[in-house]
Structure formats: structure tokens, C-alpha cells
Amino acid sequence: MRIVLEVTFRMGGVSYRGHRWEDDALVFEFERLGDAFIQVLSGRKVEEEVEREPERVIVELRTKGGGKVFEAVRDGEVYRAMEP
């Protein structure tokens, strides 16, 4: 099964690191670890083949100052999320 995630980040410099399962939630891992970033909305689209349909899709963003975790919402065949 193919999962498509479209995420809008509030700053550039984001790298995709992969995905993992936490129970029935599929977690997409991103990171932003530098010191200076462009303050513009930055979109990323990720497609992954997984063995089952997730109950929830979570975005985890690691940063130098900690990180953020937020949930994606299903919109047809695509999951969409925006950095809070």
C-alpha cells in the first residue's frame, strides 16, 4: 500500500529521515538541524510503500531546540499536515 504525505513546513532546511511504526500509527521523521533557515513556507511530498493502512499518520520534526510532533489529516488519497 502506498502512503502519500504532503507537509508544509514554516522554514526551509528540512530533511526527510524515514518512517517507522508506533503501534498503528505511521510516523514520518524529518529534521532541521542547522543554525539559520529561510523563513518561508516549504512543502515536502513523501511517498512510502507500507504493509498495512495506518490508523493515524504522524509527522515528527526534530530540531536543534527540541522538536515538534503533529498529525496529518487524510484528504482523499493524500495525507496533509502543516507545521504548527
**Integer Cα distance of 31 and 67 in angstroms:** 8
% of residues, the chain, pLDDT over 90: 81
**Integer Cα distance of 60 and 70 in angstroms:** 7
82 three-state secondary structure:
strand
pLDDT beyond 70 at 72? yes
pTM of the model: 0.92
pLDDT beyond 80 at 9? yes
pLDDT beyond 90 at 6? yes
pLDDT in tens, 21-51: 999 999 999 999 877 666 789 999 999 999 9
Residues 18 and 58: beta-carbon distance below 8 Å: no
Across the chain, what does the average pLDDT equal?
94
